[in-house]
Amino acid sequence: MTSPILSSANGQPADTRFAPLTGQRRRRLIIAALVAATGLAYGLVTGRAEAQSQTINPKVLRIGYQKYGTLTLLKARGTLEKRLAPEGITVKWTEFPAGPQLLEGLNVGAIDFGTVGEAPPIFAQAAGAQLAYIGNEPPAPTAEAIVVPKGSAIKSVADLRGKRVALNKGSNVHYLLVRQLEKAGIPYSEIQPVYLPPADARAAFERGAVDAWVIWDPFLAAAEKQLGARVLADGRGADGKNVVSNHQFYLASRPYAQARPQTVKLILDELAALGAWAEKNPKEAASVLTREVGLEPAVLDLAVSRFSYGARPVSAEVLAEQQRIADVFHTLKLIPKPIRVADASWQEAQR
């Protein structure tokens, strides 16, 4: 019997949506996740952008979030609602299981704003999604890693040659794996990637069906604390320099950014203020996340220790980093065509 991806302090699943799936439903969800991750779910429909612009409600801000991180804190504290109340704007929150699904919601006009990692917007833009980079958090290179079972004979990334490595296709960790293999001199073609969403990847990792797992927090922290998983490599190199940055990005639909630039700026200002509060009050921030996410404190404390706060506008340097990731994904034929990331910047969206 496999264990849930995350366990609460009493040993019960913290959220059954994170539990391993079986049977037909499992197959449907895996297929859907992979389709979304490879960008196929972003298939363009004639007039989609125009339809999306018509859904903008100046009195309702629809935010998509994942059950961890700064937006979860923002939702719990309610400070954004207070800032927007004088403008007569209410906030509607919608939870998504992962970045690709969130960006599909953004592209079809179901939400106006959300947060994802580095890879999903690249896949979305390659498929024609109408999005705009609004801001990003500072690098968090240790918040994702390649892990192996505690008794594994694998001692270095070079030992992954020929091994089965589980990962979520098209996610931040996909780029981490590519870069660490590159540094170890191992062609990507010489490992056996096993594309699974986190819950099923953990199940495969626990039963020994894969040799390694590339994963992000808080799933990473849960694997370390609950399974004794050993970190083989994270986003930092042996020289102390970042192999990957692992930025978190805030994005808006392009029509929303064009129509409501002042609201977008207010959101970014509030996120920056929240980051300053969280950095000064880490224990209180962790306590809020514990209540919201349902993780046992030891797991969440470890995950929060690797998180970064401090939302700021996306700089030319950060966009250039995104461009390098996009170029790598195109070289590996993970996206169907080359893209120019700067075309999706907020500055471009306001033109």
Based on the fold, state whether residues 324 and 260 are members of the same structural domain: yes
Alpha carbon separation from 48 to 55, 259, 315 (Å, rounded): 11, 16, 29
Residue 166: strand pairing partners: 194, 213
- Which residue stretches of 217-315 are H helix? 219-227, 254-259, 261-280, 282-293, 297-305
For residue 252, give its domain range.
Answer: 22-138+247-349
Residue 42: pLDDT over 70: no
pLDDT in tens, 213-251: 999 998 999 999 999 999 999 999 888 889 999 999 999
Question: Each residue of 52-90: b (16+ CB within 10 Å) or e?
Answer: bbeebeeeebbbbbbbbbbbbbbbebebbbebbeeeebe
pLDDT digits (tens, 9 = 90+) for 144-163: 999 999 999 999 999 999 99
pLDDT score for 125: 94
pLDDT of residue 332: 85
Please give the pLDDT value at position 48. 45
Q: Does the structure show a pLDDT above 60 at 34?
A: no
Domain match, 33 and 117 both: yes
Distance CA 148, CA 141 (A): 18
The encoded tokens of residue 144 equal 């994702």
- Phi (first) and psi of residue 79, to 5 degrees: -75, -30
Same-domain status, 155 and 289: no
Q: 184, 199, 234: which is the final residue of a domain?
A: 234
Domain shared by 27 and 129, yes or no: yes
Q: Is residue 166 part of a domain?
A: yes
pLDDT digits over 158-190, tens only? 999 999 999 988 788 999 999 999 999 999 999
- Taking 60 as the threshold, does the pLDDT of residue 7 lie above it? no
pTM above 0.75, yes or no: yes
Look at residue 351 in the predicted model and tell me its pLDDT: 67
Which of 234, 257, 278 is at the close of a domain?
234
d(CA 98, CA 172): 11
